[in-house]
Amino acid sequence: MAEDLLTNVMAFIYTIGHWIGGKIVELIQSVSGIIIPQSIVDAIGMLVILTIFLGIAEVAKKAIWIVVAIGWVLIIVRILILMIG
């Protein structure tokens, strides 16, 4: 069951990567006029997917730091309120 799920997820990611790679190759070919070999399509698509994941991870990392910082500020405020009375 888990292998089927993993296979389906990986096939989906590959399909999306292949599609994105094909669109980028078409765009580059139409702009530059050079012929890009089809063997590069999958590599371009996978790099785009990895770039998107890294961008999402970076944004999530910053959001997590913001939440942690706000949490510490709230804890300090709570302690100060308890100290004041």
Of 12, 9, 21, nearest to 48 (Cα)? 21
Which residue is associated with the tokens 């942690």?
A: 68
Condensed to tens digits (0 to 9), the pLDDT of residues 13-44 reads 999 999 999 999 999 999 998 898 888 999 99
Q: State the pLDDT at residue 3.
A: 77
For residues 65 and 38, give the distance between their C-alpha atoms in angstroms, rounded to a whole number: 42
pTM above the 0.75 mark? no
Q: State the pLDDT at residue 1.
A: 67
The predicted model gives 51-69 an average pLDDT of: 93
- pLDDT band at residue 47, thresholds of 50, 70 and 90? very high
Q: State the pLDDT at residue 2.
A: 67
Quickly list H helices, 1-85.
Answer: 2-32, 41-84
pLDDT at 54 over 70: yes
Extract the tokens encoding 10: 């990986």
Q: What count of other Cβ atoms lies within 10 Å of the Cβ of residue 18? A: 15
